[in-house]
């Protein structure tokens, strides 16, 4: 049985759901999910949960993400990337490196960002991208996001290569569009590659072809990340044998010393280095939230 997390280097041209379906076929298992959706044209880190790993998804901390991106000045599209319909074209030769750096500085730190119409955000119960495909545009509330790093790596007009470190919920496509607006000629993304999503790193990733190879050679275990290792941001309660047996039976362990948790705060219940369950503090007491099947 395969349980834990795999990091897939998502190829361009397929959706995150397509990757999940491919992993299901490769591993011959149905219990597969993903975190941190990537646009079809984007590549890079796509964390995939398998088996018992799917239970840990709600408790992950993917609050920081990093991207490498290329944007093209002088083009504005409806999707804010090169795959969309061109809405406007403008001369961009007057925009220099200094202009870009000033605009990027204005877009660094805490900023308000309006989500794009071509996004999975729901409004009135319907994803915005479905409305956009019908030619319907609706007003979207701005969201506060944090751009921790917005660095210019290379510039050869009209293309700029940038690195972005940002909070969860940031749309790099929107960042490119805002940058184009600030420099006066418009811009859209031509490439987007995610290099980090919380604890998941690109250097740990496998392509789908590599995943097929390691499964065929029975080396999948070398690439699986255990749920407990991905939850290091949460406190742990070490259980003795009797307490562990209670938890495996779905019961709250007795005599537990509750860590300093906020109300509804989560923690990991661990026995001999194995994650047995997730629990939370509720009205000053420990409440089991999700148990993990262990051998």
Q: Which residues are catalytic?
A: 39
Residue 76 near residue 184 (C-beta atoms within 8 A):
no
The dihedrals phi and psi of 32, each to the nearest 5 degrees, come to -140, 135
Residue 115 near residue 63 (C-beta atoms within 8 A):
no
The percent helix, strand, coil of the chain (3-state, each to 5) is 25, 35, 35
Q: Can you tell me the distance from the alpha carbon of 255 to that of 262, in angstroms, rounded to the nearest whole number?
A: 19
Q: E-assigned strands of the chain? A: 4-10, 32-34, 43-50, 64-73, 75-77, 86-89, 109-113, 122-123, 126-127, 143-156, 159-167, 187-197, 200-201, 236-238, 266-271, 274-282, 285-291
Residues in the chain: 295
Beta strands 143-156; 109-113: pairing state? antiparallel
Query: For tokens 């119960």, what's the residue?
Result: 125
Buried-exposed string 79-107: b where 16+ CB fall within 10 A, e elsewhere: bbbbbbeeeeeeebeebeeeebeebbeeb
Structure tokens at 129: 């991208």
Give first-to-last CA distance, the chain, whole Å. 10
Distances (CA, A) of 146 to 61, 104, 240, 251, 286: 16, 13, 42, 40, 33
């Amino acid at each position: 049985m395969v349980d834990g997390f795999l990091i897939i280097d998502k190829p361009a041209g397929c959706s995150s759901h397509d990757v999940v379906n491919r992993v299901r076929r490769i591993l011959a298992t149905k219990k597969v999910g993903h975190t941190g959706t990537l646009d079809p044209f984007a590549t890079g880190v796509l964390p995939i949960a398998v088996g018992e790993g799917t239970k840990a998804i709600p408790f992950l901390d993917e609050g920081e993400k990093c991207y490498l991106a290329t944007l093209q000045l002088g083009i504005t599209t409806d999707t804010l990337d090169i795959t969309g319909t061109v809405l406007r074209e403008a001369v961009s030769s007057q925009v220099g490196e200094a202009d870009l750096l000033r605009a990027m500085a204005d877009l660094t730190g805490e900023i308000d960002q309006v989500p794009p119409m071509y996004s999975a955000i729901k409004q009135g119960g319907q994803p915005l991208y479905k409305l956009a495909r019908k030619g319907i545009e609706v007003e979207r509330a701005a969201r506060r996001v944090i751009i921790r790093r917005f660095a210019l790596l290379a510039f050869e007009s009209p293309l700029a290569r940038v690195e972005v470190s940002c909070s969860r919920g940031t749309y790099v496509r929107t960042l490119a569009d805002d940058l184009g607006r600030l420099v006066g000629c418009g811009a859209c993304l031509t490439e987007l590659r995610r290099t980090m999503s919380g604890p998941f790193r690109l250097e740990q990733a496998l392509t789908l072809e590599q995943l097929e190879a390691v499964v065929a050679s029975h080396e999948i275990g070398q690439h699986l990340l255990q749920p407990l290792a991905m939850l290091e941001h949460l406190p742990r309660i070490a259980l003795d044998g009797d307490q562990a047996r209670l938890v495996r039976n779905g019961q709250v362990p007795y005599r537990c010393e509750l860590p300093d948790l906020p109300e509804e705060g989560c923690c990991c219940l661990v026995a001999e280095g194995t994650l047995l369950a997730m629990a939370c503090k509720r009205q000053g007491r420990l409440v089991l939230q999700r148990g993990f099947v262990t051998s």
